Amino acid sequence: MLGCIIAILAFFMPRVAIVLLWLFSTFISKPLEALQWTWVWPVLGIIFAPYTLLVYCLAFMQNGGKVDGMWLIGVGIAVLFDLGLIGAGAKRRTKKS
């Protein structure tokens, strides 16, 4: 039940989900410790690519500490999704002006 709530929260409010997971679990901190930058990547992920950060951490935790195969495709789709959100926001911003 709690996993479903977190998944729904992550889909609709990814930045809130990242902060909560970073504070109350090892879901965000454990994969990023492997990158040697414990606080820089979550901050950059929150600001620029929240879906990519969430999918990367999910892939790392579910695949035994590595991101390859189908998980890498999932991370690529998350990157495209984040880029689409950034592009849609830029388009909306220029359309209003």
- Tell me what the mean pLDDT of segment 55-67 comes to: 91
d(CA 39, CA 48): 14
Share of the chain above pLDDT 70, in %: 96
Question: Which of the four pLDDT bands, split at 50, 70 and 90, describes residue 38?
Answer: low
- What domain range is 40 assigned to? 2-96
- Our count of domains for the chain comes to 1
Q: Is 48 helix (H, G, I), strand (E, B) or coil?
A: coil
Each residue of 17-37: pLDDT tens digit?
A: 988 888 898 888 888 888 777
pTM: 0.85
d(CA 36, CA 11): 27
